[in-house]
Amino acid sequence: MQLDGSCHCGAVRFTCESRAPYPFMYCYCSICRKTAGGGGFAINLHADADSLHVEGEGHIVVYRAWLDHPHRKRRSVGERRFCKRCGSALWVWDPGWPELMHPFASAIDTPLPEPPERVHILLDSKPGWVPVPQGRNERHFSGYPDEFLIQWHERHGLVRG
């Protein structure tokens, strides 16, 4: 499906195609939390990098996150894009998976499908004040999860196109 995204001030708009658009993965790492997650987490989506079309590219800035927060000596190779006018988090692109891009669900204007199960990751980085949903359809990982975004969609029979 096509995902239409934008920043809050409207300077940046983008579209991309996703075969795996369910917003099921909640990341509580310090990077997601500080840069994109007022609620204590951010939700990353799966989309095809070569389908990306951007308007307002000149308003985008890239942040390569420090990996050893709070020491700040080593940077991630992943590129996080933001609108420099309003600060909205837009998407992450990682050179390790150049064919993919990961829009933040918060930047997407297209109504997204509701996931039948959610996955909560990097819980070791979660501060105590952030509540984590419990129950049959909530999976929890202290670190990274046991499957990629696309594999979750395959397991649930939800890959499109």
The interface mask with Zn ion, positions 87-116, x = CB under 5 A, is ------------------------------
Distance, CA of 57 to CA of 6 (rounded, Å): 11
Comparing CB distances to Zn ion, the nearer of 29 and 101 is 29
Contact between 85 and Zn ion by CB under 5 A: the answer reads yes
Beta strand 13-17 with 60-63 is unpaired
What does the block give as tokens for 108? 């997407």
Q: Rounded to the nearest whole angstrom, what is the least distance from the CB of residue 20 to Zn ion in the complex?
A: 18
Comparing CB distances to Zn ion, the nearer of 30 and 159 is 30
Window 15 to 54, contacts with Zn ion (CB under 5 A): 27, 29, 32
Helix segments in 73-158, DSSP class H: 149-155
Q: Rounded to the nearest whole angstrom, what is the least distance from the CB of residue 30 to Zn ion in the complex?
A: 8
Determine how many CB atoms are found less than 10 A away from the CB of residue 34: 12
Comparing CB distances to Zn ion, the nearer of 69 and 72 is 69
What does the block give as tokens for 142? 């202290």
Comparing CB distances to Zn ion, the nearer of 7 and 16 is 7
Contact between 86 and Zn ion by CB under 5 A: the answer reads yes
Best CA proximity match to 150, nearest among 22, 13, 4, 14: 22
